[in-house]
Amino acid sequence: MTATGFAQRHSHRTAGECGKPVAGIALCLSRYPDPGDATLELRNTGPKDTVLNLGIMLANGARQYPTAITLVLTDAEGRQHHAELAGPAILNGRIDPFIVPLPSGASLRLPLHISEWVLYASGHMEEISSLDPKKHYTVQAQFTGKSVGQAEANADVKGLVLIPYWTGVVVSNIVAIGPK
């Protein structure tokens, strides 16, 4: 694809649609046409290639869960609701780190179906459906990058602990969600 073709296909993206980059990583949140869904793009804006630990994988990578990403939903009154990915409900069998190499200039897009997240408010868990569907909210994503430790690396992949992972906390831009 030519640079012109890339620019035409991605002209809807502007610099203002991402959160502030931290150590070369930026999060760009955008809404789907469905008001309850969004896309999170993780971009490597830095000069060096990096590796991200996004969460966990089950069954040798057959199912991937970006548990290192959390959401903050804010209602019209300014109350914040913290959300984490609801799944997986049961961990059975092999669990591996969900690691993604991200070369300089590359990005990864993840669909975020808001209904698959649970809220934590006042120390207890609530279904995301407990939010008032008639109200508007804003949502912001946060990625907390951590290294893979000895306890998370299975015996056949202990070398994963030697990789220099991106570590830190980065937040996305804020987008509105709610009724159409």
CATH 2.40.240 fits 19-177, yes or no: no
Residues in the chain: 180
Q: What pLDDT score was predicted for residue 121?
A: 65
Token pair recorded at residue 53 = 């630990």
Q: State the pTM of this model.
A: 0.84
Summarised one tens digit per residue, pLDDT across range 1-55 is 333 333 333 333 444 489 999 999 999 999 876 766 889 999 999 999 999 999 9
**Helix, strand, or coil (residue 17):** helix
**Whether the predicted pLDDT of 59 surpasses 60:** yes
Once rounded to an integer, what is the mean pLDDT over residues 100-116? 93
| Region class of 62: left (phi > 0), else alpha (psi between -120 and 50), else beta | alpha
Distance separating alpha carbons of residues 169 and 3, to the nearest angstrom: 31
**Which carries the bigger pLDDT value, residue 89 or residue 72?**
72
At residue 56, the pLDDT reads 94
Distance separating the N- and C-terminal Cα atoms of the chain: 35
Mean pLDDT in the chain? 84
What pLDDT does residue 180 have? 62
Chain centre distance of CA 27: 8
